[in-house]
Amino acid sequence: MSSTRPPIEDLKLRMPDDMDVRHCYRHPDRETGVSCSNCGRPICHECMIPAAVGFRCPDCVAQQRRRGNRARVVTRSDMRRRWQGGVLMGAGATVTRTLIALNFFMFVVEVLLSHGQISAISTKAALDLGGLFTPDIAIKHEYWRLLAAMFLHQGLFHVGINMLSLYFIGSVFEEVAGRGKFLALYLVSGLAGNVLVFAVAPVYSVTVGASTAIFGIFGALFVYVFRNRSAYPNQVLGQLAFWMTLNLVITFTNASISWQGHIGGLIGGVATVELLTRFGRRPLRTPFVRNDVLAVLAVLAVLVVIVVWRTHSFVA
């Protein structure tokens, strides 16, 4: 008994008739349904450059860069190279390198005032140069210490590990935020960390270190990447979450670390980047405009209120 089966035919696939499928203008062999939001030309996945609205083609982005009337767009490949590029990441980070140089310069001054001690800076040298000491701020009104303390360190290991962290995280975030906003975020974060130390830390401790500002940059970058995670490689957010968690664990398990400075810096950085981006509704790397200045001043106003409250309560 024999049975007959229908012949096997090749499976043929065809796109729906109503789908607008065209070919990338730079890669004619690739079909795509995405167009440049500026010129309308079809672009494939390799040519898509994230913009504030939709995607742009490489030619439109190049024209914008030449005109200089819009901020430079950071692509996925740019971010991947900066995140994984090792020593090359700091090539264009002018503000980051300047901050590192300033911190090392101040450390040399500390060493000279400590009679050559490198591993442990003397308390007197730290105080003379601006170490955060609550009575000097509350009674003598030496508020400049709240800013100066972020450029001082306790020893070679302290400054070394902080500057290494600043090099890697600062090089990435400066490219994302631009020089002006990166510097503003750094200073506000460092100030916020020191204000929280002034407000709640033990009264007679001397606090120094750039980690207040570095934690703020860490937090700002994490929040910004989280809100724009579709424009970044998936592993970036995971790496940031891992290192932030690790640093927080170290912060709360090491008695010699000022958790107040780290948490204050973290809060200051997150609050500032959220206000600068209007809670994710506006790109970060844009010119510093009036509303951006007001955003920074709003954070500073809160810090001033805390300082006034702490000074009044200390004297009383």
Mean pLDDT of 140-146: 97
Buried b (16+ CB within 10 A) or exposed e, 61-88: beebeeeeebbebbbbeebeebbeeeee
Residue 234 binned pLDDT confidence (cut-offs 50, 70, 90): confident
**The pLDDT of residue 229 is above 50:** yes
Residue 295 phi, psi dihedral angles, 5° rounding? -65, -45
Q: What is the pLDDT of residue 27?
A: 83
Q: What is the pLDDT of residue 9?
A: 46
Q: Are 142 and 209 in contact (CB under 8 A)?
A: no
Q: What is the pLDDT of residue 100?
A: 97
Distances (CA, A) of 80 to 172, 223, 302: 10, 18, 36
Q: What is the pLDDT of residue 81?
A: 54
Q: For a pLDDT cut of 70, what percent of the chain falls above it?
A: 84
pLDDT tens across 165-215, in order? 999 999 999 988 999 999 999 999 999 999 999 999 999 999 999 999 999
Q: What is the pLDDT of residue 66?
A: 66
Q: What pTM does this model have?
A: 0.74
Walk me through the domains of the chain, giving residue ranges and CATH numbers. Answer: 22-67 (no CATH), 85-315 (1.20.1540.10)
Residue 97 phi, psi dihedral angles, 5° rounding? -65, -35
Q: What is the pLDDT of residue 276?
A: 96
Question: What sign for the dihedral angle of Cα 127, 131, 132, 138?
Answer: positive
Q: What is the pLDDT of residue 68?
A: 54
pLDDT tens across 107-128, in order? 999 999 999 999 999 999 999 9
